[in-house]
Structure 1
């Protein structure tokens, strides 16, 4: 795919960007953003929102989360996959935040990725949404949309991220992850993508387009 087509795709996404948020996670602080993003690993955001509504009602900062304890955290988030591991990670994250950062979420990649359960995708999301950095998080939806459409092709999440940073102009980067994430979640789905109602279908290089109406 050439630069001209990529720019047209980015501009179409921008023209359709009427969302008031940068995430569909229900969060009210950088602390909640960090915890919810950790919980969303291998879990649907809708399910994360369901359990964190109860979790944050009781514990919406590091001190309260530690007071709640690992067992109670696990019970609240048990509907989410890997709840035992994630509850321990959350508790350890909170202890580190208090010990090193006065309970605040750090704003550097190095500091974030030293936290248990925080990898590159999570750190990119927190830096982008929480601190306004022009990072591009690559999750399963972004990875699929980029490769399927031909916008950017790679067999590695990290290589794709680095390639995207080299081809996506900085003015588009802050919204890139969220818009491509939503497109993959709603339109360019894993099975039976809705190519008929896709606003970039004419620019997409996917050969097996689904031009039927999905029920």
Structure 2
């Protein structure tokens, strides 16, 4: 059973380490995408993203205890940058496959497609974590009453510890299932923004997976 909205939490703030690890993985995966499937030069973009991650680490090294507004703005800039770049890469890859200019290098196609697909999972998982209920700090303090997602633990007493709240791993799992099932599974979107963001993620995942697999099979056969 969860605490009533607005009630304080007795446990510690959530650790940043899983989120920072996911951000680092997303940045590394951007280097895996072949240059012919990107619109933005890799190294300047990666350097800018690493600088933003360094700012986040300096503000809140381990626990989410620093200024909420500044940290949120930095996170949103970083996430927006990675999201736009990854979505553009997905669009370029799909366009080249459809136009027949993607080439016959199956490992390159599969590798670039997999990097885009996994980055899509990571970055949207972080978006859900950042936006749901006003963000991790607001969820911890119970500041915001209305949530974007309904987890099973919120509506089924006895299946989780008292004061249960979702952590990053829960949002990453939500992102994974949305990219593979292309629909909600055990976690329901409640707000319009949640439905729109989930729809965008599913469209990117579906287009990349379908076209890359189809082209790779065609090349290999």
TM > 0.5 fold call: no
Structure with the larger RCO, 1 or 2 (CA within 8 Å, 6+ apart): 2
Identify, as 1 or 2, the structure richer in helix. Answer: 2
Name the TM-score, length of structure 2 as normaliser: 0.30
